[in-house]
Structures are given as C-alpha cells and as structure tokens.
Amino acid sequence: MSDQVSTNEIMEFLKENMVMREEIESIVDSRVLASESRVIEHVDRFAKLHETLDQELIMLRSKYDRLEERLDLVEAKLGMTV
C-alpha cells in the first residue's frame, strides 16, 4: 500500500467536493436576501408599533385635556381658584 496520492485521485476528489464561485454566490445571495427580508419585517413591525403608540398618545392627551376642562368647571362652580 502506497501513501502517495495520485493526480487522478486528487482530481476525482476535487470534482466531487469542489464548489464553484457561482454556487457560493448563489448561496450567499439567498442568505443575504433572507436576512434582508427579516430586517425589513422587523422594521415594519417597529414602525407599526410606533404608529400605534403615537395614536394612543394622541388619545390620552385628548382625554387629559377633557378631564382638565371638567376639573376647571368643577372648581369654578365650587368657587375654588388656584
């Protein structure tokens, strides 16, 4: 048994195991697209959350203003001035 590897054996090994540049680019491109898609999805969710919080803040401000107006009316009727 010889420990030397023949050129034919090396060539066969390379044919079976070698990856071409195009294959690597294809794999990388698909992973980049998948990552990009996930990032866009997270940004969209964040934007929706921000929009929802803005709407809730507007409603709370309106509620606060109404309550403050009612308190002013109650204070005026009770003759309480600050």
Provide the residue type at 34 as one letter. Answer: A
- The pLDDT of residue 1 is 52
- The pLDDT of residue 57 is 97
Domain boundaries, the chain: 20-78
Question: Which string of DSSP letters, residue by residue, matches 1-66?
Answer: ------HHHHHHHHHHH---HHHHHHHHHHHHHHHHHHHHHHHHHHHHHHHHHHHHHHHHHHHHHH
* Average pLDDT of the chain, as a whole number: 91
Note the pLDDT tens digit of each residue in 15-36: 888 888 898 899 899 999 999 9
3-state secondary structure of 79: coil
41 confidence band (pLDDT: 50, 70, 90): very high
- The pLDDT of residue 76 is 92
Residue 57 phi/psi, 5° resolution? -65, -40
- The pLDDT of residue 20 is 87
